[in-house]
Structure 1
Amino acid sequence: MVHLGPKKPQARKGSMADVPRELMDEIHQLEDMFTADSETLRKVVKHFIDELNKGLTKKGGNIPMIPGWVMEFPTGKESGNYLAIDLGGTNLRVVLVKLSGKHTFDTTQSKYKLPHDMRTTKHQEELWSFIADSLKDFMVEQELLNTKDTLPLGFTFSYPASQNKINEGILQRWTKGFDIPNVEGHDVVPLLQNEISKRELPIEIVALINDTVGTLVASYYTDPETKMGVIFGTGVNGAFYDVVSDIEKLEGKLADDIPNDSPMAINCEYGSFDNEHLVLPRTKYDVIVDEQSPRPGQQAFEKMTSGYYLGELLRLVLVELNEKGLMLKGQDLTKLKQPYIMDTSYPARIEDDPFENLEDTDDIFQKDFGVKTTLPERKLIRRLCELIGTRAARLAVCGIAAICQKRGYKTGHIAADGSVYNKYPGFKEAAAKGLRDIYGWTGDASNDPIIIVPAEDGSGAGAAVIAALSEKRIAEGKSLGIIGA
């Protein structure tokens, strides 16, 4: 996740009266370039719906639309104690979730720092042993070792994995700096369960989940008005419930006891929307970001909306304006010319600068980049940050509108999580305004029929609720996925 720092009071915008004409001309050009108007958003949504549908066909498309094998809606009455683990890039999070059965839950958690070399160990057993040992330590802390009942565990594994059923995950490729041999192409569930069993821990892995699906299910548990789970963070993603009869690529593959009208949670992975560059309003800076990325032509939507790229877009514009002789003249921009030297905390802090003379912005550029700025330059920088952040929010909600229109949702709550949603100044307001513009809603925004709300903990509570639903299916002897899986 991107760390954006503490929230400050919303900054005062200030006057542009003292900005020289040549900089004002640039500001107007940037406004034209980075503004996504209502008509553009509606075009994006229309194409988005087509791409979502294409992803469910046997042929497939840019958007993977991965079945999550959660085939029930939580009722909010699920109860009991569940374990959840979330394997991140730097920490393992272990959570004890107590589902009340009354649409509420309590959590207790501990974090265990991954040893520095663990992500590239040559022996995959070391990773699973570390997780099993951490689980044992947690159970000792929580006095759970003497429990008579086996504790069901939900495993949030946010790495590309294919699933033919809820309690398996075949790793396709490592990401987030992991590169451990003999795991890709294998089901990670028995690899971990084997180490748990060696320690005689009363734990059974009953579900392997994606964090966005977890966000959907955890939020539905506490709020049945939930229609989607979305992440606006380092990446961007959405999850929702479709219906089996509309998922062509599952035709003929499902067990007989999974009816056509069964719900199915879908992990969209829609950061790859519009890889063909047909509708997204890309600027020359978006093109540069794409061309200089490790995977050009992929993740087109993510590169315009997610936290990983917003600071880089800002940096590219500033370097070009300097090269055109319009700002930061005669200074050494060596630091500023380093790709990705600006993460998303930079535009966030600049937008949050509470001072009329943008004093915090001046400090940032002097301390971090050794560059002095004039007040008119800071006003341009500030306006550029607003444009980049607002465009990201407005484009990001096109995925929400597309799924709501595809599924015929007229009302509902969209459960959102992620560092950009939670911490980027003005993002929530710009996202809500984007939805209003797509739908043409007028009047009091608090009465909007579809609203974005803060999500519940997807990788903790969500994993637990999914474990509860899976445990119930297992107890009832129901199928968990594809025939023979």
Structure 2
Amino acid sequence: MNEDAIPPDTLAKVQKHLERFHLSLEKLQEVSARLEEDMIRGLGKHTHHRAPVKMLPSFVRATPDGTEKGDFLALDLGGTNFRVLHVRVLEEEQKMLKMDSQICTIPQEIMLGTGEQLFSHIASCLGDFLECQNLKEQILPLGFTFSFPCEQKEIDKSFLIRWTKGFNCSGVEGKDVVKLLREAIHKRGDYDLGSVAMVNDTVGTMMSCGYKDQSCEIGMIIGTGTNACYMEEMKNVERVEGEEGRMCINTEWGGFGDDGSLKDIQTEFDVVVDKTSINPGVHIFEKMISGMYLGEIVRLLLVRLTQDELLFKGQTSEALLSAGRFETKFISDIEETDSGVENTQNILTELGLKWDQVDVHVVHLVCDTISSRSAHLCAAALATVANRIRVNRGLDHLKTTVGVDGTVYRKHPYFSKKLQATVRLLAPDCDITFLVSEDGSGKGAAMVTAVSQRLALQSRLLEDSEEEEEDK
């Protein structure tokens, strides 16, 4: 898109509104250093409870090594639908196959009913799926992706902190969701489960890529929300017993800035987006980056530019003045290389705006500014994580892979390129490969279960051989 198509006088005035969104490399390095401090606070035994970046232990103690095999179930509950999958891991072919899956809806009355009703509904759908697949006689391990805020105590113990996303089932908050699921299955009495592994969707993203590429030790999601996880040294995970080995930490980096540490880069538009959101003051970093909010930041900017008569001859429309009407996917459509101009014209017409060619170029510039800032901030956070792994391991140079998912990363035409280029500048000693995840919350959850089963078997074998030594 050509900035020359905008008259210099107009361009200068538009740029004035956009300058707060342009972050210098120095500023991004500062942001990265602040996140590092917050990550250390989140890991600390005595500082964790006050830390905005929660750094939750996932109890996933290894990434795949390629010897995983067998049949697994996965249950993915993160919204009004949930999925049940049967996944087969083939060691010889190094493949993870989705044998079959089924989507079940959760009716409104169950979302707002009792916990007992919810888990009985899940157990019944899981039972139907096993029946269809002729798997009822087998006792298969299950990976359970439960995308709500939980406090995890072990790989198979996870307590719901609070419901989000329109759920409000009574008697579940503060309870172990694995226990509730097992009780519901037990009550039916027609099938049983093997071991259960609770999986965060970001951890699942890392694990689903980790089977294909065993150097994958970071998972990142940039979609409706944003988050990342990575393999941390156990000696730094102060809230979990043990010094040996590593554990995957779910950073919950969306909460970065919740203590006011990002005030200097928050623009007036970010402040409005935060104030009018359903959770003001919470997830400040996420609100500058993720798909749920980018469209709204653009809309607020377009309204301001129109009021200042720099767009649409000063004429807004009802749609442009309505919160949420400028969707984040419009940004991707507007920035498309070949069809961008036509897409912009169609979107502006759909929003009831009278536009000319200069308006089309200005709107493109605004979208590019907002999506670029998102990519740059995300890069700063990812650089923090990669640099931390490198320093943790005492390496001059780290070669690692990031498993990535999320609509913003997948669908935006330039986001991934900008993110990768900025990470290279901010983490010059890290050579990072990016791998787009295949179904982190399904296949990834199955892989978490496969790895935890492998580790349990290995430690059993160790114990057996130690006992044999003693018997001699």
Q: Same fold (TM over 0.5)?
A: yes
Report the equivalent of 1:235: 225
27-36 vs 87-96, which moves further: 27-36
Q: Deviations over 1:71-100 (max 9, x none)?
A: 233211111000001012121111111111
Contact (CA 8 Å) 2:234, 2:245: kept in 1 or not? yes
Contact (CA 8 Å) 1:206, 1:471: kept in 2 or not? no
Q: Aligned-pair distance for 1:121?
A: 3.2
Whole-Å Cα distance in 1 between the matches of residues 358 and 339 of structure 2? 14
Q: Deviations over 1:446-471 (max 9, x none)?
A: xx822322124321222112212333
Q: Measured at CA, do residues 312 and 168 of structure 1 come closer, stay the same or move farther in structure 2, by a change above 3 Å?
A: same
Select 1:136's aligned residue among 115, 127, 130. Answer: 127
Select 1:123's aligned residue among 114, 134, 151. Answer: 114
**Cα RMSD for the two superposed structures:** 2.1
- The question of 1:190 aligning with 2:179 is answered yes
Report the equivalent of 1:207: 197
Report the equivalent of 1:40: 27
Report the equivalent of 1:283: 267
Residue identity opposite 2:420 in structure 1:
A
Report the equivalent of 1:111: 102
Report the equivalent of 2:336: 352
- Count matched residues: 448
Report the equivalent of 2:394: none
Contact (CA 8 Å) 2:72, 2:88: kept in 1 or not? yes
Contact (CA 8 Å) 2:130, 2:136: kept in 1 or not? yes
Whole-Å Cα distance in 2 between the matches of residues 16 and 272 of structure 1? 35
Q: Aligned-pair distance for 1:141?
A: 2.5
The secondary structure found in structure 1 opposite 2:284 is coil
Q: Deviations over 1:220-260 (max 9, x none)?
A: 2221111201001111100111122112233xxx3xxxx41
Q: Aligned-pair distance for 1:473?
A: 4.9
Report the equivalent of 2:393: none
Report the equivalent of 1:221: 211
Contact (CA 8 Å) 2:209, 2:216: kept in 1 or not? yes
Contact (CA 8 Å) 1:112, 1:134: kept in 2 or not? no
Whole-Å Cα distance in 1 between the matches of residues 398 and 216 of structure 2? 12
Residue identity opposite 2:103 in structure 1:
Y
Percent identity between matched residues is 33
Residue identity opposite 1:337 in structure 2:
L
Contact (CA 8 Å) 1:81, 1:98: kept in 2 or not? yes
Q: Measured at CA, do residues 27 and 396 of structure 1 come closer, stay the same or move farther in structure 2, by a change above 3 Å?
A: same
Whole-Å Cα distance in 1 between the matches of residues 11 and 454 of structure 2? 63
Whole-Å Cα distance in 1 between the matches of residues 243 and 155 of structure 2? 18
The secondary structure found in structure 2 opposite 1:44 is helix
Report the equivalent of 1:431: 419
193-202 vs 80-89, which moves further: 193-202
Contact (CA 8 Å) 2:53, 2:252: kept in 1 or not? yes
Q: Aligned-pair distance for 1:28?
A: 2.3
Report the equivalent of 1:339: 323
Q: Aligned-pair distance for 1:171?
A: 0.6
Q: Measured at CA, do residues 440 and 240 of structure 1 come closer, stay the same or move farther in structure 2, by a change above 3 Å?
A: closer
List gaps (5 residues or longer) in structure 1: 1-12, 442-447, 479-485
Whole-Å Cα distance in 2 between the matches of residues 330 and 430 of structure 1? 33
Q: Aligned-pair distance for 1:47?
A: 1.4
- The question of 1:175 aligning with 2:164 is answered yes
Contact (CA 8 Å) 1:118, 1:127: kept in 2 or not? no
Contact (CA 8 Å) 2:74, 2:443: kept in 1 or not? yes
Report the equivalent of 1:401: 383
Report the equivalent of 2:12: 25
Report the equivalent of 1:4: none
Q: Aligned-pair distance for 1:205?
A: 4.7
Contact (CA 8 Å) 1:412, 1:451: kept in 2 or not? yes
Contact (CA 8 Å) 1:41, 1:395: kept in 2 or not? yes
- The question of 1:469 aligning with 2:451 is answered yes
Q: Measured at CA, do residues 173 and 53 of structure 1 come closer, stay the same or move farther in structure 2, by a change above 3 Å?
A: same
Contact (CA 8 Å) 1:93, 1:109: kept in 2 or not? no
Whole-Å Cα distance in 1 between the matches of residues 318 and 17 of structure 2? 24
Residue identity opposite 1:160 in structure 2:
P
List gaps (5 residues or longer) in structure 2: 391-396, 462-472
Whole-Å Cα distance in 1 between the matches of residues 195 and 256 of structure 2? 33
128-137 vs 180-189, which moves further: 128-137
